[in-house]
Amino acid sequence: MLAQLALLFGRLSLLAVGGVNSTVPQIAYDVVTLRHWLTPAQFVQLYAISNAAPGPNMMITTLIGAHMAGVAGGLVASLAMILPAGTLVVIVSKFWDRYRDARLRNIIQRALLPITAGLVLAAAGVLLRQADTGWQLGALSLVCAGLAWRTRVHPLWLLGGGLVLGLCLG
């Protein structure tokens, strides 16, 4: 299991263009559809817990690892997710300043923007499909999306509101 976790997240590490959220559809496919480690409901709930906890949003990998193989699983999944990308960034940052105004750098940056947008939209699609099992939850998601998009309200308020609303609806 530890080797599987290392392989899965190590592979995803270098594909996480524009952040960990880009890989959410792929993580969901790997751990829910393909391997049946988690149900769709469990996946989106673990994702939500990782959002409600402090720390970067890569904590979803820690949670999945820990869910599958305890503390060792959490550590292995996290390291697999951060080490390949981290090593790459350390190497590239040595050259980064030298190419500050390079045309190539601008071209790559501009090319990645719409890809990141598409990937995070897809992540939202996957999570919405798993989370919204009724119209009330769908409406809750849309309101949160609108507020997160257009206002500067702190995410914790939205998550807390969702939690309380879920309790009331149940």
Partner 1 sequence: MSEARLTLAELFSGFFKAGIIGFGGVLPVARRIIVDERRWLTQPQFNDLFALCQFMPGANIVNFAFAFGARHRGLAGAGATILGLLAAPMCIVMLLGGAYARWGGLPAARHALAGLAGAAAGLVLGTALRIATPIFGSLTNVLIALGVLALVLLLHLSLPFTMLIILPIALFCSWRRA
Kindly identify the residues of this chain, within the stretch 106-135, that bind partner 1 according to CB under 8 A: 106-128, 130-133
Angle at 76 between CA 72 and CA 78, to 5 degrees: 120
Which amino acid, 107? I
> Binding to partner 1 (CB under 8 A): which residues in 44-83?
44-59, 62-63, 66-67, 71, 74-75, 78, 81-82
For residue 20, what is the DSSP state?
G
With CB under 8 A as the rule, give the number of residues binding partner 1.
110
For residue 92, what are its two tokens?
Answer: 């590239």
Taking the complex as a whole, how short is the minimal distance between the CB of residue 5 and partner 1, in angstroms?
Answer: 14
- 2 binds partner 1, rule: CB under 8 A: no
Backbone angles phi, psi at 132, to 5 degrees: -90, 90
- 101 binds partner 1, rule: CB under 8 A: no
Residues 31 and 38 sit within 8 Å (Cβ to Cβ): yes
Taking the complex as a whole, how short is the minimal distance between the CB of residue 3 and partner 1, in angstroms?
Answer: 20
